Structure 1
Amino acid sequence: MVASGTRDRAAVAAKESSAPRRNAAYRSTVGIKVVMAVTGLLFLTFLVLHMAGNLKIFFGAESFDHYAHWLRDIGAPALPHEWFLWIQRGVLTLALVGHVWAAATLALRAKRARPIGYAHRPKVQGSYAARTMRWGGVIILLFLVWHLLDLTVGTVNPVGNPATPYANVVAGFAPSRWPVTLFYVLAVVAVGFHVRHGLFSALRTLGQRTANGERWARVAALGFAILLCVGFLVVPFAVLVGWVGPA
């Protein structure tokens, strides 16, 4: 009886001592998920605003060029020329680093917490989602580099004149540059997969864990991702078919 009581007290003590560690790990994981959510929200906001700005190309060269020049002068005269854009790029870069770090950390923790593999079907689904996000992320990062060199810096753009953003876009998506357009399409589709997965996960985290709630969360995430993809892809498509052409 004495030995049994000693073992019980030891078990209780071990359980109590492990509780703070579990709570700390939980708080840490929640904090990482907050980083993931906040940085993801920043990117979603940027994507929606960027898409809306891109669609101004359908209002003509003058309207689009005026919008592009206005972006460079936001905050003037308090901020020097293009400072707002550089501040925005800095914030997005920090958000990208935080987002990638949070995603990698959560993935590693999930893997360590589940040393025993899933059943066959969930494992296949999980590995498919992981591959999609991983390779999609690589495509997006590579495209960002090209996109900046093409339409921001103008180094690889046939026109490359910062004074004529409309002409840069038309030249950038010209039919003769179809490989660039194809790369753009792949990157936008990859963004769509990321948005769908991330938004669905966020909605589930916010409480949509019932069967009906998950179904609506999945539909909402998919619908938003499709609208975003269409909004970005309509511009190069319009240039290809001649709806948008040289001014």
Structure 2
Amino acid sequence: MAIDVTVLRVFTDENGDFGNPLGVIDSAAVVPADRQHIATELGYSETIFVTLPDPGTRTAHAHIHTPTTELPFAGHPTVGASWWLKERGTPIRTLQVPAGLVQVTYTGDVTSVSARAEWAPDFSISEIATVEDLAAADPDDYGDDAAEHYLWTWLDREAGTIRSRMFAPHLGIREDEATGAGAVRITEHLSRDLTIVQGHGSIIQTVWSAEGWVQVAGRVVEDGHRHLE
């Protein structure tokens, strides 16, 4: 039986451009032992397997895989899956992932998730002096260890706008177009709300809470379907 994969782009700009590709699969179509193989075959930075909410409930369950491993939490898959559930007529309030219970909200065309900062990987965070230096960074210079490398610089300090890039070759992600977990960590690191421009032009909005929660928000568009035999 063919497996249907909905392909999304998460954290687009206001025009629906850019964004990080994501594969979304109904968990009922896949046995758990096959999840990693499928995520590897698809090759997206993450693929999320979603167990649909029971009738009359507003909670779904999900598992997130990179091309090489399962993650307890990631931002762009949880935002994307929450949007996907709303589009199919089953909006949720919470999404259970291995790390914990993610809070979900919908405001217009923006989908938001709230997560604990400690759920995100402990990124190696490096402030880069200029936008030009950030653009010149070579992902191949960051592939010798098992760290997620998050590089950033200010675009507008007063407005809270930064430019960022993220490299995680050990997860099968040479460079990520838009990293929700990285957005959580940099928001915690700077202890303020942020607008993050990442990759080719993806946009992530965050809200910081002194209680240890970070809200990550963005727009999502659908890019069609893939079918795996």
- Normalised by the size of structure 1, how large is the TM-score? 0.25
Between Structure 1 and Structure 2, the one with more strand by share is 2
Larger radius of gyration: 1
Q: Which has the higher contact order (CA 8 A, sep 6+)?
A: 2
- Normalised by the size of structure 2, how large is the TM-score? 0.26
